[in-house]
Structure 1
Amino acid sequence: MFDSKIALIVRDDLAVWQRLNVAAFLASGIAYATPEMRGEPYIDAEGQRYGSMLGQPMLVFAADLSGLQSAHRKALERELTLIPYVEAMFSTGHDEANRQAFLAEDTNNLNLVGVAIRGPKKAVDKAVKGLKMHS
């Protein structure tokens, strides 16, 4: 049905509120990076218009830090759309501070709590190979 795939990967040792927060931010990053994926607005039976969502499902996986770093590396190698979220971003209060926190990270050892990946199905499947669906 779709020739592309979206995967959100969230670290498995986070508190529930953190997992939900990370997933929401990652999904918004994919929506922003791929506006062509936006579906049509929703309209209810009385004609009230609502906002749009992405027109493609997203699969949510759980992984430890090593699994996140591996998926991140594979996604970079395959030049997939990649949205990162690092632990230091939990202690910031706004977007500019998030970017500064990310900039301060060790590029070769990111303290990832989540990543979103989008691209051709087979390439995304290779990036998330071995990861389990979030439960």
Structure 2
Amino acid sequence: MTTASQPTVPPSAASPRFDTKVVVLLSEGLTAWQELNVTSFLMSGIAVSAPGLTGDPYRDGDDNIYLPMLRQPVLVMTADAALLGAARGKATARADVAIAVWTRELFATGHDEANRAAVAAVAARDLDLVGVALRGPRHAIDRMIKGARLHD
């Protein structure tokens, strides 16, 4: 029996198994606003990293239309600086992994051009990463994030 707190899910909406995985790795010790800010910016990069990542627009019972969203789940995890750097390095070495980065310096910039300039001013190995988003083959992503913990 279905109650008001347990909506019925149509059989066609069963969770499919995706060949790819989307993960946001956040640095430990960020404040709540920083975690949300970093996650939203990183996911905007993932959303445009390949065609077909978003589904169709949503429509409610009153025929209001809402923007489409990613078609697959996103895991948000935490990691230390070493794991963030290692994941970045492994991801950039593979053509089949999309990566977005957020560095500590970007908290002080005010627009996209300044963000790109701040990243461009630092060698890859010296980036002060506070967030990395990855999309790629499931098993490859799993290996890159080994040791990360689900965000709590």
Higher helix share: 1
1:60 alignment partner in structure 2: 76
Partner residue of 1:27 out of 31, 43, 47? 43
Q: Runs of 4 or more off by more than 2 Å in structure 1?
A: none
AA partner of residue 106 (structure 1) = A
The residue number in structure 1 matching 2:143 is 126
| 2:120 paired with 1:103 | yes
Q: Deviations over 1:24-61 (max 9, x none)?
A: 00111100112311111000001111111001111011
Determine the C-alpha separation between the residues in 1 that align with 2:70 and 2:51: 8
Deviations 1:54-111 (A, max 9, x none): 0111101101211110111121223311101111111000000000000011221210
Identity %: 44
Amino acid corresponding to residue 116 of structure 2 in structure 1? R
Partner of 1:16: 32
Which runs of 5 or more structure 2 residues have no equivalent in the other structure?
1-16
TM-score by length of 2: 0.85
**Structure showing greater Rg:** 2
User: Aligned residue pairs: how many?
Assistant: 135
CA distance in 2 between partners of 1:59 and 1:19 (Å)? 13
